[in-house]
């Protein structure tokens, strides 16, 4: 992946469904704004592209898509996301915080039986974030949180599948620069304290 040479900073928060990612993203955005940063909040998949909208349908089980075709859609959506939103903001010196990015493709795609090296190759021309934070929570705890919401489960929201995703996430800090894992089993403020320490290094 390509190093960020723009004046802005690109931060990604990753984790299993039900890991508390969204809470940490909100805290991070507020923290950066309080520190005088101009912040853009975004997420993947987007709802801005045809590919992103098709992905949403697949995740909800409304349509069935082959695992490789699904990840190709993620790559297409990601390219549009970068070109239209992320890169222009970074060029202007803004901080971009994204909930999910290419690392979700590596983790979820390989849990779906695809070759991780092939998935990495599909994303090699994309920007490497200045910081990627993986919120690590046990798959069984994630499932409990998802079930407590009372919403229908999406495609990957099964414990066995999330366990495979978690295994891949744990390998990513060895494979890519700027990737860190934080213990998501702690309280929300404690998790954010860990994240703050990582962000202090780049802001």
**Residue ranges for the binding site?**
15-22
CB within 8 Å of 198: residues ≥ 6 apart: 131, 133, 180, 182
Contact by Cβ (8 Å): 184, 128? no
Tally of helices (H runs) and strands (E runs) in the chain: 9, 5
Query: Cα(109)–Cα(89) distance, rounded to whole angstroms?
Result: 28
CB of 178 closer than 8 Å to CB of 131: yes
Angle (CA) 3-85-116 rounded to 5° is 50
Other Cβ atoms within 10 Å of 48 Cβ, number = 14
Map tokens 């909208």 to a residue.
53
Binding residues for ATP: 15-22
């Amino acid at each position: 992946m390509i190093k960020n040479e723009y004046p802005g900073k690109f931060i990604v928060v990753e984790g299993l469904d039900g890991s508390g990612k969204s809470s940490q993203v909100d805290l991070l955005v507020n923290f950066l704004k309080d520190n005088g940063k101009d912040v853009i909040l975004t997420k993947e998949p987007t709802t801005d592209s045809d590919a992103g909208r098709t992905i949403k349908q697949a995740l909800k089980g409304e349509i069935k898509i082959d695992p490789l075709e699904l990840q190709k859609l993620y790559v297409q959506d990601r390219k549009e996301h970068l070109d239209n939103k992320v890169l222009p903001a970074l060029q202007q010196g803004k901080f971009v915080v994204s909930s999910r990015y290419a690392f979700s493709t590596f983790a979820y795609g390989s849990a779906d039986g695809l070759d991780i090296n092939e998935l990495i190759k599909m994303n090699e021309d994309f920007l490497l974030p200045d910081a990627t934070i993986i919120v690590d929570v046990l798959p069984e705890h994630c499932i409990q949180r998802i079930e407590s919401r009372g919403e229908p489960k999406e495609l990957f929201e099964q414990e066995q599948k999330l366990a495979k995703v978690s295994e891949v996430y744990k390998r990513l800090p060895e494979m890519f620069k700027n990737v860190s894992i934080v213990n998501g089993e702690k309280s929300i403020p404690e998790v954010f304290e860990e994240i703050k320490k990582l962000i202090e290094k780049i802001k």
